[in-house]
Amino acid sequence: MTEDALVIFTPSGKRGRFALGTPVLQAARHLGVDLDSVCGGRGICSKCQITPGYGEFPKFGIHVDDEALSEWNSVEERYKSKRGMIDGRRLGCQAKVMGDVVIDVPPESQVHKQVIRKSATQRDIVMDPATRLLYIEVAEPDMHEPSGDFERVKQALAEQWQVGEVETDLHVLRRLQPVLRKGEWKITVALHRGNHDARDRILEIWPGYHEGGLYGLAIDLGSTTIAAHLCDLRDGAVLASSGLMNPQIRFGEDLMSRVSYAMMNPGGDVEMTRAVREAINALAASIAAEAKVASADIFEVVFVCNPVMHHLLLGIDPVELGQAPFSLALSGSLSLPARELDLSNLNRAAQVYVLPCIAGHVGADCAAVALSEEPGKSDDMVLIVDVGTNAEILLGNKERVLACSSPTGPAFEGAQISSGQRAAPGAIERVSIDPVTKEPRFRVIGSDLWSDDPGFADAIKTSGITGICGSGIIEAVAEMRMAGVLDASGLIGSADQVGTARCEPHGRTHSYLLHDASVDGGPVIRVTQGDIRAIQLAKSALYAGARLLMDELGIDHVDRVTLAGAFGAHISPKHAMVLGMIPDAPLEKVTSAGNAAGTGARIALCNRAARDAIEATVHDIVKIETAIEPRFQEHFVNANAIPHAVDQFPNLVGVVSLPDVSYNPATSGGDGGRRRRRG
Amino acid sequence: MTEDALVIFTPSGKRGRFALGTPVLQAARHLGVDLDSVCGGRGICSKCQITPGYGEFPKFGIHVDDEALSEWNSVEERYKSKRGMIDGRRLGCQAKVMGDVVIDVPPESQVHKQVIRKSATQRDIVMDPATRLLYIEVAEPDMHEPSGDFERVKQALAEQWQVGEVETDLHVLRRLQPVLRKGEWKITVALHRGNHDARDRILEIWPGYHEGGLYGLAIDLGSTTIAAHLCDLRDGAVLASSGLMNPQIRFGEDLMSRVSYAMMNPGGDVEMTRAVREAINALAASIAAEAKVASADIFEVVFVCNPVMHHLLLGIDPVELGQAPFSLALSGSLSLPARELDLSNLNRAAQVYVLPCIAGHVGADCAAVALSEEPGKSDDMVLIVDVGTNAEILLGNKERVLACSSPTGPAFEGAQISSGQRAAPGAIERVSIDPVTKEPRFRVIGSDLWSDDPGFADAIKTSGITGICGSGIIEAVAEMRMAGVLDASGLIGSADQVGTARCEPHGRTHSYLLHDASVDGGPVIRVTQGDIRAIQLAKSALYAGARLLMDELGIDHVDRVTLAGAFGAHISPKHAMVLGMIPDAPLEKVTSAGNAAGTGARIALCNRAARDAIEATVHDIVKIETAIEPRFQEHFVNANAIPHAVDQFPNLVGVVSLPDVSYNPATSGGDGGRRRRRG
């Protein structure tokens, strides 16, 4: 037998020769193999489990005999009997190399585990959170070489974990001496690694080996709702997801009205800051309770939000965001202690990371979408639209990515629509209109049945039919266009012109009767000419923004379209394209990314390197300000037609037929006074 | 005329050739000449005043003609007419090089001014404080290249002042947009440079060019008193010095009794922390008021203190400092925002720097003494003694420096002395005893007259004669020894043995009557045998500590002795040596450094590099723990005699005569139960 042996790790394939007696964990570290350990090889944490392979390995040209590793020892036996361990597994810190061997590192023993996301179209998150638990053994004080206990903790971190300069808070220093003595000079620390050149920081300490929780919150702070995911920072699992209404709504429905509130009311920004921080505290408490997690075990919070929410969260008056040149007080990312934002239902040393903003109208939420969807890594030309009160639009491929924001207004969310409501049980969410009879059928949130299915009335008995939500109004307008109820200019025909009594006179225009109150005693639900105009304004703004970015890149079509946002998840691609919300593309290439901003927040929470990546990405993104681009207005006017006055939709033509009708209004209508508004 | 010209700066002698038209300030910066500027060369701050020299300069071999600089311009004229400027001076940013020239930089135009300290034996402080004011011109927002206002501030700092990564607080971010707009994109920032690799931080911002105050506090936080100097961080001037009693005294007179209080009373440490922080707040407010300085203009605080005060200031329970192995929670220096210490009467972003501790008994105060007295730069062997309740002792030269602490107890401060009191008006501070008549004369704090001078009674009428302070008791004991009233073992002779009625029976021993109440109706002031024993214990501890360090270096004498501490300033070197407080040395080489710890704090306040220097010095100092050195006890016993049982005092012998007397006590006395105590 030679004095060293060949060790091959799978699945990495990394290999090297090591002196007999070398622990497997040590060999793994030497080769840079991704093998976890919290206790640093002391047989306490059991994170370094490995599976040795025996017998012939023709692929590697070696034979592994039964004595390739040292014998099963008492540390392993104790662990297995107390906690259980899969047969054939060994502890990497205990098993020593005694001959040529092949070692498999199972996925759960890897530090940088991949979290498999449910949707196959989305990429996985590699776990590498900013905060981790480290077990250390600290030198005892020596009167001949006096040094502070904290200095010896730093020394242990440097020697045992190769950690550089470390800081901590007074509250940790205050507890350090009793904790060290209670743990008999063995402690576990929660260490937060700063981004860029910022120092590492000890957030919390426990006596001995601590196998406690380590959690983080990914928060998507929207104008209307605040949504949070509570994630386990060890494996990326989402333990709970929860949301609540943004209480700032009482100061104004949309962003511009909140900026106005701050401008008109001295101290108004302070009121709104307090309201949103209180709501986040309430949300943190409720989500922790829901997941049965101690608030003190939440160490990280990541925020994504639009610029106005960003400023109000940080306590900065958003007034400059309400007027040209729309300057942000701060555009870069921000790392700071959660207590500076008055966030209390967390570990007292919890750290906040706020993603960078892209521009005055394109916020950290859009940056999060870019982090999740990675347009800058795309081979084909992708258009990403995050639909909300404002639409954030990204366009590009790995050559170049552009971004802008477009003031769609709240129509897509059911606001400013005669029977509009938020997406909630009772709201019509899907609509279909028979092109021959012009009769509608629909689905209501809370049931999978269509209105002409048997049992529909029973299924919706609790909620009733209360109104129409954003996706419902988009489908209704698109279906009206396909059924010939509506012409390309957006005019609803009269009963005579269309051939259905559902087209009723409505003031000086016509409306389409979607649901008659006589059926269930609920409200009458119509699509009015005003509703059509509101949707036209919103979709024109969205399309014009996308078109502006296409001009900038000199392209006239995109390869694929991604609809992001909770709302985007419910939009039917076909209907969106019939409406002309988005440019033409193969329908199967129009997909939903779900809450991509929330996913981006989770990625930044679970993977530290992603924070650097998004900062670089945001720096490289070309920002287009729609407000100062003269062509925006031209694109906006042309996009008013359904689907469009000029642009062709070849992919759509093969799938749907759009009747070539033209209606006169009952009168000339009254759209002259309506203007797009930001917010 | 050539296209470039020779520019020679004095007093530095730096020289170089510059293109004609180069502003003098730019030439100075290029050569690294120390020429101040806050506004960056924009003719606003006038800090860059220089004096051109004309005519022959044989030393440099050049002739400077009248047109060597560009003409006096309107910026200079405006400044001179409004603010005044010495004739012959020019503004370095306005005057351009037009020919060979010699430029003198007057001291007040140097950034790194030297503050000349009054005492010639002490070194000067070079001004280089951590916080400075910088004027910047910030790019306006551009919708085509959107970036945050803060990002453009950072860019301006990088471009105009070569400042790297910068952080700031939310309160600055909150005010940034209005301040930038009020100053029309010109602002002044107070920038704090972090030590080591810590980032720079903007503490405060003002619109436009701000010529405001920039102050710092150097605080010597002692067990008994808290002393503060308010310094101008621009020129190092001490604007006010003030002090107050440490309110922790109500929890215990000395350090050990405070540690005991914390051990015996749950939450006792929190009480003491609150008390000392409140006192510091009060002191900060009163010293600012005294100097007529706005609290918000105080940006820096430096603390020096012993380890127990250090921990209580930081809110750390000092219990571990009360028992072996006397471990510090933290020994390194600490930089943190003042608000974390609840210090409120400062700028809200003010930064605190706490000097490092040397060991569990040798604190940041001793580190400050090392910074002030620099034993590590000494060619000869210097012993530095900081006399207080504990004595901190430094011994060494540029080869090696040792430190220890010795538990002298409070006798040197007048405590545990029968007629003892703190140094205050009415206290006897100097004593002389006639070797023939054995009659005393003395001086009292508050008057320069001796007790046998005409007019003495009038001079002390207000205060009376109330007791004896530390320096007084030391002189009294030493004078008693020189006059033969006391023998080498420390026994007071009887009236018969000594030949004066002032030696009175006192219990089972004798006392010496220093002041008879019948003279003025005040208290009778005696030096009792118990007082002698208390002083012997204190001085033995001090001497034994010094001797232990001498052993460690293998030396039997020192070249010079420095007495530090407010008390050290009042000790007469001759009397200290007669008493055997300090080892023998030439009397003229025994000097006082005044409040060296306070000076060290001022140096760390005014010079950032000194902070790095003291950290390196503390690291290199060899720490000796007296409690575990067996020879300490032996040295202590030998040092009980006056001046010493074994060691010779050759330098003393030539100056004073010590009568070879030996007295029997009236009885055996009662010292057996007395023990040295730490604290």
Q: Sheet holding A225-232: strands in order across? A: A238-245, A225-232, A215-221, A298-305, A351-354, A334-337
Cis peptide upstream of residue A659 (ω within 30 degrees of 0): no
B319 touches chain A (CB under 8 A): yes
Question: In the predicted model, is pLDDT for residue B676 greater than 50?
Answer: no
The model's confidence at residue A324, banded by pLDDT at 50, 70 and 90, is confident
How close is the nearest chain B Cα to the Cα of A290, in Å? 32
Residue B515 bridge partners (DSSP): B525
Which region among A31-40, B110-119, B441-450 has the lowest average model confidence (pLDDT)? B110-119
With cut-offs at 50, 70 and 90, classify the pLDDT of residue A408: confident
Does A221 share its domain with A89? Answer: no
- Residue B662 belongs to some domain of the structure: no
Residues B151 and B76 in one domain: no
Same domain, B546 and B617: yes
Q: Answer yes or no: is A369 within a domain.
A: no
CATH of the domain at A181: 3.10.20.880
Residues A541 and A497 occupy one common structural domain: yes
User: What is the mean predicted confidence (pLDDT) over A214-234?
Assistant: 92
Listed residues B523, B550, B582: the one ending a domain: B523
Helix B596-606 and helix B364-373: axis angle, to 10°?
80
pLDDT for B70 beyond 50: yes
pLDDT digits (tens, 9 = 90+) for A489-519: 999 999 999 999 999 998 889 999 999 876 6
A331/B148 Cβ within 8 A: yes
Q: Determine the Cα angle at A333 with ends A330 and A339, to 5°.
A: 90
Q: What is the mean pLDDT of residues B603-610?
A: 94
Query: Considering the domain boundaries, does residue A267 fall inside one?
Result: yes
Give the whole-number percent of chain A exceeding pLDDT 90: 68
Instruction: Say whether A174 and B316 touch across the interface (CB within 8 A).
Output: yes
Provide mean pLDDT across the span A67-93: 90
A423-434 pLDDT, tens digit each: 888 899 999 999
pLDDT over 90 at A551, yes or no: yes
Is it the case that residue A654 has pLDDT exceeding 70?
A: yes
Asked if the C-beta of A316 comes within 8 angstroms of chain B's C-beta atoms, the answer is: yes
Least confident of A78-87, A314-323, B212-221: A78-87
A180 and A225 belong to one structural domain: no
Q: What is the pLDDT of residue B522?
A: 78
B528-544: per-residue pLDDT in tens? 999 999 999 999 999 99
Sequence-ordered strand ranges (E) for B20-155: 49-53, 55-57, 62-64, 90-91, 101-104, 114-115, 125-126, 131-137
Which pLDDT does position A619 carry in this prediction? 92
Q: What is the percent of chain A where pLDDT is above 70? A: 95
The answer to whether A177 contacts B148, with C-beta atoms less than 8 Å apart, is no
Give how far Cα B114 sits from Cα of B24, B34, B130, Å.
23, 12, 16
pLDDT band at B81 (very low <50, low <70, confident <90, very high): confident
A226 — phi, psi (to 5°)?
-115, 120
Nearest to B23 by CA among B3, B44, B42, B45: B42
Residue B556: the pLDDT is 93
Q: What is the pLDDT of residue B121?
A: 38
B contacts of A329 (beta carbons < 8 Å):
148-150, 173-174, 176-177
Question: What pLDDT, on the 0 to 100 scale, is given for residue B116?
Answer: 45
Per-residue pLDDT at A49 exceeds 50? yes
Q: What is the mean pLDDT of residues B405-432?
A: 87
Whether residue A306 has pLDDT greater than 80: yes
The pair phi, psi for residue A449, each rounded to 5°, is -85, 150
Check pLDDT > 90 for residue B32: no
Tokens of B171: 């309160």
Q: What is the pLDDT of residues A447-485, one digit of tens each?
A: 899 999 999 988 888 888 999 998 999 999 999 999 999
User: Does position A675 have pLDDT exceeding 50, yes or no?
Assistant: no
- B622-623, strands of its sheet edge to edge: B590-594, B560-564, B382-386, B391-397, B400-406, B622-623
Q: Which of A420, A393, A417 is nearest to A407 (CA)?
A: A393
Q: Which of B458, B488, B523 is the last residue of a domain?
A: B523
Looking at per-residue pLDDT, the higher value among B399 and A655 belongs to B399
Residues A334 and A395 in one domain: no
* A351 has a pLDDT exceeding 90: yes
Contact yes or no for B382/B395 (Cβ under 8 A) = yes
Same domain for B228 and B348: yes
Q: Which of B207, B241, B266 represents a domain boundary (last residue)?
A: B207
Flag the least confident range among A333-337, B280-284, B475-479, B625-629: B625-629
pLDDT confidence of residue A211: 85
* Minimal-distance CA residue of chain B relative to A341: B170
Answer yes or no: is B363 within a domain.
Answer: no
Strands B4-10 and B101-104 come out as parallel
Structure-model confidence comparison of residues A12 and B562, the more confident one: B562
Instruction: Report pLDDT for A535.
Output: 95
Q: Are B330 and A199 a contacting pair at CB < 8 A?
A: no
Q: What average pLDDT does the segment B316-330 reach?
A: 93
Beta bridge partners of A18: A5
Residue-wise burial string across A397-433, b where 16 or more C-beta atoms lie within 10 A, e elsewhere: beeebbbbbbbbbbbbbbbbbbbbbbbeebbbbbbbb
Q: Which two tokens stand for residue A292?
A: 């049965």
Quote the domain boundaries for residue B639. 372-410+535-653
> Which residues 164-193 of B are in CB contact (within 8 Å) with A?
165, 169-170, 173-174, 176-178
- Mean pLDDT, all residues of chain A: 90
Please check whether residue B296 lies inside any domain of the structure: yes
- Whichever domain contains B12, its CATH number is 3.10.20.30
Task: Return the closest-CA partner of residue B133 out of B47, B57, B33.
Answer: B47
Task: Supply the pLDDT for residue A64.
Answer: 92
B442 membership: H or E segment, kind and range? strand B440-444
What confidence score (pLDDT) does residue A40 get? 78
Q: How many domains does chain A have?
A: 4
- The pLDDT, as a whole number, for residue B534 is 94
Q: Cβ of B323 under 8 Å from any chain A Cβ?
A: no
Chain B, 612-631: which have a CB under 8 Å from a chain A CB? 623, 625, 627-628
Residue A403 and residue A316 share a domain: no
- Domain assignment present for B123: no
Q: Is the pLDDT of residue A567 over 80?
A: no
The model's pTM: 0.84
Instruction: Judge whether A324 is closer than 8 Å to chain B, CB to CB.
Output: yes
Which CATH number is A320's domain given? 3.30.420.480
pLDDT at B519: 63
Verify that B543 and B643 share a domain, yes or no. Answer: yes
| CB neighbour list of residue B219: distance below 8 Å, 6 or more residues apart | B226, B227, B228, B280, B283, B301, B302, B303, B304, B601
For residue A674, the model assigns a pLDDT of: 42
Note whether A329 contacts B173, CB cutoff 8 Å: yes
Contacts of B31 (CB under 8 A, 6+ apart): B7, B9, B14, B15, B16
Give the contacts of A509 (CB within 8 A, at least 6 positions apart): A491, A492, A528, A529, A530, A665, A666, A667, A669
Residue B529 lies in a domain: no
Assess whether B456 and B405 both reside in one domain.
Answer: no
Q: Who contacts B481 (Cβ-Cβ below 8 Å, separation ≥6)?
A: B487, B488, B578, B579, B642, B658
Do B42 and B73 sit in the same domain of this protein?
yes
User: A269 with A223, same domain?
Assistant: yes
Per-residue pLDDT at B387: 83
Residue A116 has pLDDT above 50, yes or no: no
A524 in a structural domain = yes
